[in-house]
Chains A and B, each alone.
Chain A
Amino acid sequence: MTELPSNLKSNPRLDRWIDVAPDGTITIRSGKVELGQGIGAAMLLIAASELRVDPAALTLAPADTARAPAEGFTAGSLSVEHGGAAMRLAVAMARALFMQAAEAALGAPVELENGLFSVPGTNRSVGYGDLAAEVDLSVSALDQPIPVLFGEGDGAPGFRRPDLPAKLSGAAFIQDLRLPGMLFGRVLRPEAPWLRLDGFDEAAVAALPGVVRVVRDGAFAGVVAERDDDARAAIEKARRSARWSRIGTLPTCDEAQTWLDAPAEEAETLLEDAGEPAETVTRLSSSYARGFLVHAAMGPSCAVAHWTDGRLDLHTHSQGIHPLRKQLATALRIAEDAINAVHVPGAGCYGHNAADDVALDAALLARAVDRPVMVLWSREDEMSWSPHGAAMRVDLAAGLSAEGRITHWDCRIASTPHVARPGSGNGLDLLAARDLETPHPPSTQSNFKVPDRGADRNSVPIYALPQRRVRLNQRPQGPLRSSALRALGAHANVFAVESFMDELAAAAGADPLAFRLAHCEDPRAAAVLKAAASAGGWDPDEPGGEGIGRGLGVARYKNSGAYYAAMVRVEIEESVRVVSIHGAVDAGRVVHRDGLINQVEGGAVQAVSWTLMEEARWTDEGFAVRAWEDYPVLGFRDMPEIVTEVLRSDAPPLGAGECSAGPVAGAIGNAVAHALGVRARRMPITRERVMAAMDAAL
């Protein structure tokens, strides 16, 4: 290794990553945060393997803006790849310093085992704690030699996540935080994206039992109360007397699809291969789409804010405490270092949800009182005001030679924004900021450039294709606010690419597996594809139709992350049911095998739900999704059988929480086509869409 991992370069002091106390307690700190993905376990395993201690002997401190390394967002499946690499090197450097100190103390070369440095053949040894006073960890990684790395080990079989016992019994999440004197706040938000608050009967709300304060700043309004149920009742009361005005018009549900379907004139070219196409005998084109997806975390978005002497202490489940702090400072018009933000885990988070928005809500409400205030979002607001997964349309066209090889590939994407996180654009992207008396406008432009604007993620197929062209028509924010949701554009792009590969294979009269392999020059992609197909019992001659079918999907997430392939079986009676998913993953060397499988399979289950069931809607009245009832998700009864093979690899470790979404969606589309003989190209593949596809084929 010649180059330090970038997260270590930007946070070079070793004591930001690791502390050793004289009693032998070792604390590690990561800027990557627990989102329910088990990253804490991976960090402990990485540190334990480099320090040669039992992972149970380590404590992982919560990420905060004061002490922990600043590692940006916990996103993009980069936590193990980037955060883990930085952690590994930082603790290995610390271990090397302890080793030197041990050799100085014992006057001989030492070996390290189980946290003890000992002189071989003697009974002389010292532990980390014994040397804590000698070793100065306030040194810079930039000045340290690159130490020997012990590596990932064997995937930690039998290792149990240390955070789970507490989560499966008592207080464990941010929603369970109880600070002395803490009050509860809630915010009044409109029921339609085009409404703005004019006013409500503030005196009546202030007089309700338990209400401590009614807060108004422009169109932002909330209450602070002794108890959360008091705050809820007060908001209900406020809503009954609320007056709203209409700000602008938005397309109705049908119009919005038309609007995304409109020809993409101003598409930007992301990739265009030079040269002349080979002779083409068959041309094919198809259009694929998905609607907006609701983030729909299980827990309400939550933050706790406490102001003392103009300083703000914040507890948050944000994916990026440093970027959040920066935006909060601007929104609140205070210095950045007047804010200390500490991360506390919330319910599972799959991208940019309302964690950041609620932090500003809490800061605004808490400013009106001198006690800590916890703000929780209502389910209604969670379903409609949390950032959505973007709506997308993907148009593909390609040609085939007489030999059945792809001669050119053309892709045009239209998409609402996938990256609207606070700090990722030119404006202030915390929901309440635009409502304030002196408003801060939201971003109109993303700082993110291709290739990571999100919509283009996996738009370039993994196959070796000539004459590719990829264009993106980046649409502005639509009627529903959209931002990063697990896999971003990869869900719809891989669905489109893998569906189209099957359509091309059919046109070429080829077996979908053989057709893919014939166009695949990446051995790792071929390996996961073959493994999934063989685990699922792929048979080129398996007859389709009769409502039973199977399909394949494969991708390398972001074309730089983990490889995943799936073979899916479906049964279609009234609606589509995924019966089984046989997956294979190559995520490089494996830090925590069970954690990896958990992530891959969780992503696959969520993708089944997105692909078959989920689409956010709105009507002339406003948001149409205000409750779980309005937005069914895959449940216990419809769980597929799911099997995942982890392929052995010596490549660097990669994150895997997002790699399965696209391939599973593609495989489902292909299995549905195999089962029915007609193809559904728009997600979710509901009963109505399947019927429509069948009618169209008659």
Chain B
Amino acid sequence: MSMDDPRPYDLTVDGRAVRVTARPDTPVLSVLRDDLGLLGTRTGCLQGRCGSCTVHLDGKAVQTCSLPLWSVEGRRIDTVEGPSPTLARVREAFLEEQAAQCGYCVNGIMMTVSALLDEGVRDRSEMLETLDERHLCRCGAHPRMLRAIDRLLEGAA
């Protein structure tokens, strides 16, 4: 058996303990989508730029398209399909503002926003800076998303 052969990995996804048997370098995105059927985490550029594939890893927003399975062994992953109350608030604010066009980018963006809120970030420009570095939206839905974020920041202040 080579080091690259599939082997079982234990992790916690959306609050559930799961065991996945896969090669160690399998991207976490592919584990979520193709092993666990969690398709709300989107496949985008697979180049680490667009942010569509963002989840929470031990509470921090991370992109999963280049994140190898071996590196998340024993850790906690929360996806856009998970039960986080902060995420639920973020989603409601986004729906309230109808902050999407196609909606493809939005799940990743909501994950980053909810992680930042959980970390206690209340500063708009800090939030913007992170979103700018980690997320793209090609439809130009940003102004609406910013309105949803303002709503959340007001609510959290």
Contacts and interface: CB of A to CB of B under 8 A. Distances in A.
B50 to A, nearest CB: 6
Given A164-B98, A299-B42, A636 B146 contact: yes
A333 B133 CA distance: 47
B46 A378 contact: yes
A297 interface: yes
20 contacts: A36-B101, A36-B104, A36-B139, A167-B102, A168-B91, A227-B30, A228-B34, A229-B26, A298-B104, A298-B105, A299-B43, A299-B44, A348-B101, A349-B102, A376-B43, A609-B140, A635-B131, A636-B128, A636-B131, A636-B146
Contacts of A171: 39-40
A209 B143 CA distance: 45
Contacts of B136: 298, 628, 633, 635
Given A168-B110, A175-B42, A35 B102 contact: yes
A637 interface: yes
B18 interface: no
The dominant DSSP class at the B interface is: loop
B81 A175 contact: no
A190 to B, nearest CB: 19
A604 B140 contact: yes
Nearest to B109: A636
Interface of A: 35-38, 160-161, 163-165, 167-173, 175-176, 178, 209, 227-229, 232, 296-300, 345-350, 376, 378-379, 594, 598-599, 601-606, 609, 627-629, 633-642
A168 B138 contact: no
B142 A636 contact: yes
A178 B37 contact: yes
Contact of B101 (A38, A175, A378): A38
A350 B140 CA distance: 11
A178 B39 CA distance: 9
A36 B102 CA distance: 3
Contacts of B49: 627-629
B77 to A, nearest CB: 16
Contacts, number: 164
A635 B45 CA distance: 16
A77 B52 CA distance: 28
A160 B102 contact: no
Contacts of A633: 136, 138
Nearest to B141: A602
Interface in B104-155: 104-107, 110, 128-129, 131-132, 135-146
Given A605-B140, A635-B132, 9 more contacts: A160-B95, A168-B80, A169-B80, A298-B102, A300-B43, A606-B140, A609-B140, A637-B129, A638-B132
A407 B115 CA distance: 61
Contacts of B43: 175, 228, 299-300, 376
A168 B50 contact: no
Nearest to A628: B49
A487 to B, nearest CB: 13
B45 A176 contact: no
Interface of B: 23, 26-27, 30, 33-34, 37-40, 42-47, 49-50, 52, 80-81, 91, 94-95, 98, 100-107, 110, 128-129, 131-132, 135-146
Contacts of B135: 635-636
Nearest to B30: A229
A168 B26 CA distance: 26
Given A168-B94, A229-B26, A628 B47 contact: yes
B37 to A, nearest CB: 7
Residue among B98, B106, B107 facing the most chain A CB atoms (10 A cut-off)? B98
Contacts of A296: 138
B138 A606 contact: yes
Contact of B102 (A347, A379, A601, A639): A347
A591 to B, nearest CB: 15
Residue among A35, A227, A635 facing the most chain B CB atoms (10 A cut-off)? A635
A649 B109 CA distance: 36
A228 B65 CA distance: 12
A35 to B, nearest CB: 7
Nearest to B98: A594
Contact of B140 (A35, A601, A627): A601
A360 to B, nearest CB: 21
B44 A298 contact: yes
A379 B104 contact: no
Contact of A169 (B47, B91, B105, B142): B91
B52 to A, nearest CB: 6
Contact of A642 (B23, B94, B143): B143
